[in-house]
A and B are shown apart, each in its own frame.
Chain A
Amino acid sequence: MAKALINLKINDIPITVEEGTTILDAAKKLNIKIPTLCDHPDLSVAGNCRVCVVEVKGARYLQAACATPVAEGMEIYTNSQTVRQSRKHVIELLLSEHNADCTSCSRNSKCELQDLAAEYHIFDRVLLDILDPENLIADISSPAIKKDISKCIHCQRCVRTCEELQYVSALAVIGKGAEQHIGTFFDYPLNEVVCTNCGQCVLHCPTGALTERNYVEEVWDAINDPTKHVVVQTAPAVRVAIGEELGFAYGTRVTGKMVTALKRLGFDSVLDTDFTADLTILEEGTELLTRLKRALVDKDPEVKIPMFTSCSPGWIKFMEHLYPEMLGHLSTCKSPQQMFGAVAKTYYAQKKGINSKDMIVVSVMPCTAKKYEAQRPEMRSSGYQDVDYVLTTRELATMIKQAGIDFMSLPESDYDPLMGESSGAGVIFGATGGVMEAALRTAYEIVTGREVPFKNLEITPVRGFDGIKEATIKIEGTKPEWSFLEGVELKVAVAHELANANKLVRAIKEGKLHYHFIEIMTCPGGCLGGGGQPYPVSWEIRQMRAQGIYSEDENLPLRKSHDNPEVMQLYEEYLGQPNSHKAHELLHTHYFPRKKYLN
């Protein structure tokens, strides 16, 4: 049913919009900018910062443009004297309780509060400084996320993110009045609570209150240490986002330039996480087929179906906290980052004749949870910490800028050999549904000897940004050794954002839904929308990054993980078969039940 139309005037300009439109959105249609802070397109409306207040003729009070729907005949003024005074007061009030030591803040020059302060000329602060000195001590307990409440403006974007997108609620509003702050369960440090380290709070924070733990200096030190052989791996989603920090449009593919930049930064070898994404497909695909055989042929009551993917460390910790009884459903495969670290410090070291102890493995990830994952005690299969430092996309961009590299004019280079080759299947790991699509391309072919029956290998039902996606593929014409799968309708599902994952897992736990294989990504849109990606974020930006990822897949000569020659070489020379004993030692892991609120 078409919505009723509402006629109103903003700054005396008439406009007609649909019923239910907010004043803010109506003003946008007229290209009138109203400043906002607590508003975010991913989140529910809060209306608490009050920086967007406007005057509505006849109303006793100013109205929050983000939270007020238009009404017939409304006359709105967005720049009246009262509005300007209120807006300046709101900004100055926020600054008065803010640690405005901007030069020591990692959001310096990328801060929404700073932008507004500049725009509204808050040069001479009239009000008192009311920042509580106790707030100056930041929580750096987590290896992934730094929480500095002296920078907090109480907009609650993080709280809404953690609750609405992720169903985690590690962050909540605590206390009232002057004591009110954003805290954790009984204000425990971040590393002791249910936090999945996903970093969506970081991505949605308008200021420097929530940031990633920064390891740029450690990586510079490693690069400049002549005794160390420093290799770097780059995750699939980084290549379609890092350009945004360095002058390119949203979602531009800059793979070749990024590789050149990494070489110029001084890494000894520039390698690709896509390589281990392909490796993951072989390990995880084999694990799935083995589980299906145990279920269908051996009738093993112990086997856990559906099997969930395990690439996304935020999702893993989510399961450990909220569904510890279902950990058996998680694939035992490590994530591509950790497979990379384990293989680099064993196979690669051996091939290169380097002692593993002299190797430093650096990851560039769209993710903050990877910082946590790298430090998990299980992730030391090489005898050392397999991945030493994890940088976000943002941190790598910082290093490139620090090195004085003009990214836009860089020539393109290829990844270095041994662990640098990848297929399009590895690349699409960066988008929600990508792991599923990559797995199906390989598993279907292993079982039938034929390519998946989708045009140009594009398994469209698992693509796109629907929160939960489903697909059914009928397996026909199996090879003799897979005849037990003949006629089986393989049911798969894909979810991204932990709130969607939670709905799916709960339904499965309650026996309402049945699948064989499920891909879960922690972040909205998958890794391309990860907590380590450039600011800002919206579904439009995620969409552009997804286009970048799928066009990279389309343009690669290899499209299927099992066609990756370097992966095959790794099996032949080192691992043997997928899921072999050696593969299990290096590439698989186990999970630990945790408590609902605390670690």
Chain B
Amino acid sequence: MDTSNLKKVDIIFSKVDNPLQILDKALQKSPDDIINEIIDSGLKGRGGAGFPTGLKWKFTKNEDSDVKYVICNADEGEPGTFKDRQIIEEVPEKIFIGMALAAYCIGAKEAYMYLRGEYNFLKKDIIPKMEWFNNEIKNRGLDVTLYLRSGSGAYICGEESALFESMEGKRGEPRNKPPYPTKAGYNNKPTSINNVETLVFVTMIQHLGVEEFKKLGTKDSRGSKVFSISGDTPIPGIYELELGMKVSDFVREFGDGDTKAVQIGGASGFCVPRKNFENTIIGFEGIPTGGSVMLFNSSRSMYNILHNYLDFFVEESCAQCTPCRAGLQQLLKGIEAIKRREKPASYLNELIKLSQTMKVASKCGLGQSVANPFVSIVENFKEEIIF
């Protein structure tokens, strides 16, 4: 382990003796001071999209509105991602502190955790802890209340605007942007929506200090990140690692000696073939991820893997926009047709063109990102797709 170029980190799950002291300490600062610290830290959203957290808070704070909201996005649905669940189970108070601080900074009185429907079994633990926390912040004179909301199991509701629709009791379909959530989010009010892990980092930056956080990572990818590691690895699980590592270093640590490809960023992420391990970086300067990294060894059929991803998306597209709804079905049925020799191998080029249209013309991130796995698998493993 010591020879590894990977740096394992213990920030997110670290035990803090009296976490409420972090809150007390932070509340002595002004909202602007906290926001500037978060901006200075370089913290980017840990859900995958990587928007600078401090800026999001600043934009929301600057909106002129009596009502604003904080939302913790706990709709962890990307295939291969399972780290938020453990964070919620192990260090919920750190999430709550992050939510309370976000509310304090932007001027919100209500902060919601939107929990994935499949995680409803966690509610029995979260609710009493949330009640305890609400009491604690009330005792501190902070006019913020935390609430819990449940999703119903649609992948698309992890997309922020679909999440708002879902919270409003409507069908979870992404909205047109602009307006962005910082201007018009939940109930069309300014809303700061952050991933579970992001909020914990906010708490821990307050605890450890900006400089400690900045010591980790690279210029574009500050700090560490919790990874959900699965697939052909002898040691699957959840690991917090410093950002900016090479895929080759990652594979040396987690691979089984026979890794032929690594899928970074879940089903909507990119597939990196062995030949590119050395020159690919995991981080915002390379391939960003919400935490999912899947390793595949030579026993795996990349056709089956792609088929599996497409199957998932065909089912989970909200289906409102044409490129995503019909395009996905075309990609899935298209590779099946090629496999069955009903379409020539050259039809793959048509499908790649189609996936490029899906990338630029779809309404939300789901349709826009399908080209990532499709093109990266098809171009790197063409023989496996055709034959």
Contact = CB atoms under 8 A, between A and B. Distances in A.
Interface string A151-183: 001101000000000000000110111111000
Given A69-B178, A177-B317, A90 B330 contact: no
A186 interface: no
B322 A90 contact: yes
Contact of B325 (A64, A128, A154): A154
A178 B333 CA distance: 12
Contacts of A51: 322
A67 B319 contact: no
Given A86-B357, A89-B327, A173-B171, 5 more contacts: A67-B176, A90-B322, A127-B354, A172-B171, A173-B320
Interface of B: 154, 156, 171, 173, 176, 178, 313-323, 325-330, 333-334, 337, 343, 350, 353-354, 357, 359-363, 368
A45 B316 contact: no
Contacts of A154: 319-320, 322, 325
A53 interface: yes
Contact of A49 (B156, B316, B322, B368): B322
B322 A85 contact: no
Contact of B360 (A62, A172, A175): A62
A176 B326 contact: no
Contacts of A47: 176, 321, 363
A178 B321 contact: no
A50 B329 contact: no
B368 A61 contact: yes
B157 to A, nearest CB: 10
Interface residues of A, number: 38
Nearest to A94: B322
Contact of A89 (B178, B320, B361): B361
19 contacts: A47-B176, A47-B363, A48-B322, A49-B322, A50-B361, A61-B360, A62-B361, A64-B176, A85-B357, A86-B323, A90-B323, A90-B361, A127-B350, A128-B334, A128-B337, A153-B322, A175-B319, A177-B319, A178-B315
Interface in A542-578: none
A156 B325 CA distance: 14
B318 A180 contact: yes
A176 B360 contact: no
Contacts of B363: 47-48, 50, 64
A1 to B, nearest CB: 16
A82 interface: yes
B327 to A, nearest CB: 6
Interface string A53-76: 100000001101001110000000
Contacts of B171: 172-173
B182 to A, nearest CB: 16
B350 A178 contact: no
B200 to A, nearest CB: 29
Contacts of A86: 323, 357, 360-361
Nearest to A159: B171
Contact of A50 (B154, B322, B328): B322
A97 interface: yes
Nearest to B154: A176
A49 B173 CA distance: 14
B329 A130 contact: yes
A177 B330 contact: no
Nearest to A69: B178
A89 B333 contact: no
B327 A93 contact: yes
A177 B360 contact: no
B360 A82 contact: yes
Contacts of A64: 176, 363
A494 to B, nearest CB: 31
Given A82-B360, A85-B357, A90-B361, A176 B176 contact: no
A2 interface: no
B315 A176 contact: yes
A94 B320 CA distance: 12
Interface string A85-129: 110011001101100000000000000000000000000001110
A539 B314 CA distance: 39
Contacts of B354: 89, 127
A180 B319 contact: yes
Nearest to B155: A176
A51 B175 CA distance: 17
B359 A93 contact: no
Most chain-A Cβ atoms within 10 A of its Cβ — which of B326, B333, B362? Answer: B326
A347 to B, nearest CB: 52
B322 A93 contact: yes
Contacts of B176: 45, 47, 64, 67-68
Given A93-B326, A177-B315, A48 B320 contact: yes
A96 B359 contact: no
A46 B319 CA distance: 13
Nearest to A89: B357
A176 B323 contact: no
B91 to A, nearest CB: 33
A176 B317 contact: yes
A7 to B, nearest CB: 18
A62 B322 CA distance: 14
B375 to A, nearest CB: 15
Contacts of B178: 68-69
Contacts of B322: 48-51, 90, 93-94, 153-154
B360 A94 contact: no
Nearest to A59: B360
Given A89-B354, A130-B330, A48 B323 contact: no
Contacts of B343: 128
Given A67-B176, A177-B315, A177-B316, A94 B323 contact: no
A85 B315 contact: no
Contacts of B326: 93-94, 96-97, 130
A90 B321 CA distance: 9
Most chain-A Cβ atoms within 10 A of its Cβ — which of B156, B178, B314, B357? Answer: B357
Nearest to B336: A128
A175 B153 CA distance: 12
Nearest to A85: B357
Nearest to B319: A180
